[in-house]
Chain A
């Protein structure tokens, strides 16, 4: 009986440790992913806005939508995304965004990570 309790205790401790490690890893991974995805999407949006004869980005609103579409294609993990376009200038090639991802750890706790990127052309 005593051994059984010790085993159960060890299992519980191992689970808690695993969840903690997973959580930390999850946060770092997501931060990295969001950072990369936002950078790539901003860069792609600014670059597209400056292509000659392009039709995709013909207003600041379309620039914002384009950014959102590109970011969506770069995000693989689950979670909600909030995009705030702080500034956009499709003519000169500027987009300044704050992207916030809200997700849940394996233990059910909610967390948020935030990235700000301002990309300019030229």
Chain B
């Protein structure tokens, strides 16, 4: 029996020794080459208690699963802990009876304080992963759990690249609890996943510093309040230099990050696919927080595909409420894309100022694209109290705001504040209401210094810009013609600096009421005028003569004859506006046949006086009346003197009023005409009167009409007795020898003065029968006898010939004086016979024509 007891005691001692409860089971010396190798909670606890030099790193290799049953406090030294032999785990004890899991007072597994430092998953230690496990699955039935680690002031924890923190949880609602609580410094190079917390799904910092580096990967964490992954408050610094924070979720603000009263720098990295129950789907920054997005060297983060039930699908900046909102937000570079919100500001929503803090924001070098807002501001939404950082106005520069969609106003951006856009492209955004590219609210004031608004669409009004507030443009501002600027109420475009566009529309404008006098553009800088701003290379004067002058502005759907005009000549409006005007036509009518020099129709514009033309028309036989323009052709209307001003806004036709010139004398000058028998000339009136003229005194130039009033034959018989409209060829011909006496008559325009003249027409005998040959010209083609072959058969050939000019010849012969003498000599030598010698000589000088 005694032997049995001896063996049992020996076995127990050995067992205790092997379990390491009594003897020190760790090995090694804690150096990089010979680390402490630990395999139990007590091993690591003992190592933490060893005396060490403060400045030297102690290396701890974990070669088994270690469960922490109580809180371990590291308050001295620096430790680099890593896994060996395999991936290893340091976890919270699963025993609910363990001290660390106390039902009434759950505790952290690890606290680092008083300047101590701990690196988990030390990257140079091994390639195995060291898993820090919070075993949150063991906490059921609403049993409370505190966080895993707490890095206190002046101390540091590093989650290095070979460390995975998972399933850490905090359900205790107090200021000190969190899965990873930071008051000192936390650096994350490794992975943190599936953590749950209150005020920070994985990390909460208050007064501490958190650095998220390029290899960090924080994902699938949840916060019961703010900060799905990280909550940073009160004097903290959270700097993200890379890595990824994805698929995290907060019940309240900041799907990935919530930062208040602190400084948040997101210099690079990816914040993707996070979701907030209220505002800031990716990032919430507010309550006097300072937010930096991107670096001035043009590298920046990707804040993409986040969602907020409240405003700011990607980023909610200067947020907060109840007198503690506002902050300072500086966006230097980065992409904010494909985020969405159930309210406003799909990409960015900027909050309001408070009594404690201004709301200041500056945006440059950003790409804000493909975001969606169920309400207003698909890309950006600005509060009315937001201001710039250096100026009262918010600067947005070198930024693209593209392809964003809002279900309500402002597809690209909704502005309630003062904003200056410099080199900003607002393009291809969509508003399902109004203001496809930009909606400028009543309190909003936007200055486009350099930038293009193009390709945006709005379901209702203002596909480019909907203006309720103020819009200023200068330099290279262009609102492309495929985008309209809707001017609500009495709003207008203010040109505050010289525009550099060389051609094309600077803005195509829509207005609700297209009434004459509606001001649409103001020329508002020194040295300019409405005229200079409206036309590229023309003046207001040119528009009187040319309908197609190139203008910088256009108003859609203007009525007939409406147009844009500068106000230089408009009564009652300062000379710095461009308004909707209307063209009225002033038409001049000669009011009789044969009137020459009638003034061309001219144009009058709305409320602009115009001078009635002083150009004097002329009419043969008449002189113009002194006040010769009248609104009625019989002179009974309103009289307008030449050079007087016409002020009415309506079309007008003015008739010249004439007075006949009194004649002193009127004479018909007619020479006798001679024809030969069988000449086959039709003795029509035109032929008979060919050389007859009428002379008057004074020489009025009146086109007196001559007519034949009687024809007698040689026997004195009146052939036309009683005939009124005499057709002379009926009574006169060349068939036989005859002598006709033809009485001619003419009178002045009013039949007051007349003249008569008798002329003789002789048909003479033709003994040589040469009457068969006659001359004909284009003007008197109608004198060709209708019975001749040239009229009946060869009319076309003859007409064609007479219609040709000297460029259309068939032969050309040039003969010099010597040639002519030579021809004459040859002819004379052969008794004027047309010999082959003559023919050949002339042929030498003959050329074929066309």
Which residues of A come within 8 Å of B, CB atoms? 39, 42-43, 46-47, 50, 56, 60-62, 64-66, 68-69, 72-73, 75, 78-89, 92-94, 96, 98, 100, 116-122
CA distance A62 to B680 in the complex (A): 28
Task: Let me know if B810 and A86 touch, CB within 8 A.
Answer: yes
- Inter-chain contacts of B846 with A (CB < 8 A): 61, 64-65, 68
Given the contacts A120-B790, A122-B772, A94 and B815 also touching, CB distance less than 8 Å:
no
- Inter-chain contacts of B789 with A (CB < 8 A): 92, 122
Task: Let me know if B808 and A119 touch, CB within 8 A.
Answer: no
B761-790: CB near A (< 8 Å → 1, else 0) gives: 000000000101111110000000000111
Which residue of chain A has the shortest Cβ distance to B833 in the bound complex? Answer: A56
Given the contacts A72-B824, A118-B775, A60 and B770 also touching, CB distance less than 8 Å:
no
In residues 819-850 of chain B, which contact A (Cβ within 8 Å)? 819-820, 823-824, 827, 832, 834, 838-839, 842-843, 845-846, 849
Q: Does any Cβ of A come within 8 Å of B809's Cβ?
A: yes
Given the contacts A72-B823, A120-B798, A122-B790, A47 and B811 also touching, CB distance less than 8 Å:
no
Q: Does any Cβ of A come within 8 Å of B802's Cβ?
A: yes
CA distance A62 to B820 in the complex (A): 17
Cβ of B514 to closest chain A Cβ, rounded Å: 62
- Inter-chain contacts of A116 with B (CB < 8 A): 777
Q: Does any Cβ of A come within 8 Å of B814's Cβ?
A: yes
Task: Let me know if A122 and B788 touch, CB within 8 A.
Answer: yes
Task: Let me know if B849 and A84 touch, CB within 8 A.
Answer: yes
Task: Let me know if B817 and A46 touch, CB within 8 A.
Answer: no
CA distance A98 to B805 in the complex (A): 9
Cβ of A41 to closest chain B Cβ, rounded Å: 12
Q: Does any Cβ of A come within 8 Å of B806's Cβ?
A: yes
Task: Let me know if B849 and A98 touch, CB within 8 A.
Answer: no
Q: Does any Cβ of A come within 8 Å of B804's Cβ?
A: yes
Given the contacts A65-B846, A85-B812, A120-B798, A42 and B775 also touching, CB distance less than 8 Å:
yes
- Inter-chain contacts of B808 with A (CB < 8 A): 86
CA distance A88 to B789 in the complex (A): 16
Q: Does any Cβ of A come within 8 Å of B636's Cβ?
A: no
Q: Does any Cβ of A come within 8 Å of B794's Cβ?
A: yes
CA distance A47 to B775 in the complex (A): 12
CA distance A29 to B284 in the complex (A): 109
Q: Does any Cβ of A come within 8 Å of B13's Cβ?
A: no
Task: Let me know if A68 and B773 touch, CB within 8 A.
Answer: no
Task: Let me know if B815 and A72 touch, CB within 8 A.
Answer: yes
- Inter-chain contacts of A100 with B (CB < 8 A): 806
Task: Let me know if A69 and B823 touch, CB within 8 A.
Answer: yes
B678-689: CB near A (< 8 Å → 1, else 0) gives: 001000000000
Interface residues on B, range: 35 or more
- Inter-chain contacts of B680 with A (CB < 8 A): 122
Task: Let me know if B824 and A73 touch, CB within 8 A.
Answer: yes
Which residues of B come within 8 Å of A, CB atoms? 680, 770, 772-777, 788-790, 794, 797-798, 800-802, 804, 806, 808-817, 819-820, 823-824, 827, 832, 834, 838-839, 842-843, 845-846, 849
- Inter-chain contacts of A47 with B (CB < 8 A): 770, 772-773
Contact of A62 among B776, B798, B814, B839 (CB under 8 A): B839
Given the contacts A56-B834, A96-B802, A80 and B811 also touching, CB distance less than 8 Å:
no
CA distance A93 to B846 in the complex (A): 21
- Inter-chain contacts of A98 with B (CB < 8 A): 806, 809
Task: Let me know if B774 and A120 touch, CB within 8 A.
Answer: yes
CA distance A20 to B49 in the complex (A): 138
Which of A56, A93, A122: most chain B Cβ within 10 A? A122
Cβ of A69 to closest chain B Cβ, rounded Å: 5
CA distance A58 to B611 in the complex (A): 72
Cβ of A77 to closest chain B Cβ, rounded Å: 9
Contact of B842 among A68, A80, A96 (CB under 8 A): A68
CA distance A72 to B789 in the complex (A): 30
- Inter-chain contacts of B773 with A (CB < 8 A): 43, 46-47, 93, 119-121
Which residue of chain B has the shortest Cβ distance to A39 in the bound complex? Answer: B775
- Inter-chain contacts of A84 with B (CB < 8 A): 806, 809, 811-812, 849
CA distance A96 to B808 in the complex (A): 11
Cβ of B678 to closest chain A Cβ, rounded Å: 10
CA distance A46 to B668 in the complex (A): 37
- Inter-chain contacts of B801 with A (CB < 8 A): 86-87, 94, 96, 118
Given the contacts A84-B849, A87-B810, A88-B811, A69 and B838 also touching, CB distance less than 8 Å:
yes
- Inter-chain contacts of A60 with B (CB < 8 A): 810-811
Task: Let me know if A117 and B849 touch, CB within 8 A.
Answer: no
Cβ of B676 to closest chain A Cβ, rounded Å: 13
A–B pairs, 7, beta carbons within 8 Å:
A61-B846, A64-B811, A64-B846, A83-B811, A87-B800, A118-B798, A119-B774
CA distance A89 to B838 in the complex (A): 21
CA distance A52 to B806 in the complex (A): 32
- Inter-chain contacts of A122 with B (CB < 8 A): 680, 772, 788-790
Given the contacts A47-B770, A68-B813, A87 and B804 also touching, CB distance less than 8 Å:
yes
Contact of A83 among B815, B817, B827, B843 (CB under 8 A): B815
Given A72-B820, A94-B797, 16 more A-B residue pairs with CB atoms under 8 Å apart are A43-B775, A50-B772, A60-B810, A64-B846, A65-B813, A65-B843, A68-B823, A69-B834, A72-B815, A72-B824, A73-B827, A83-B813, A94-B801, A100-B806, A118-B777, A119-B775
Given the contacts A80-B816, A86-B804, A86-B806, A73 and B775 also touching, CB distance less than 8 Å:
no
- Inter-chain contacts of A89 with B (CB < 8 A): 794, 797
Task: Let me know if A80 and B817 touch, CB within 8 A.
Answer: yes
Task: Let me know if B776 and A120 touch, CB within 8 A.
Answer: yes
CA distance A75 to B813 in the complex (A): 15
CA distance A80 to B812 in the complex (A): 13
Contact of A117 among B775, B814, B817 (CB under 8 A): B775
- Inter-chain contacts of A121 with B (CB < 8 A): 772-773
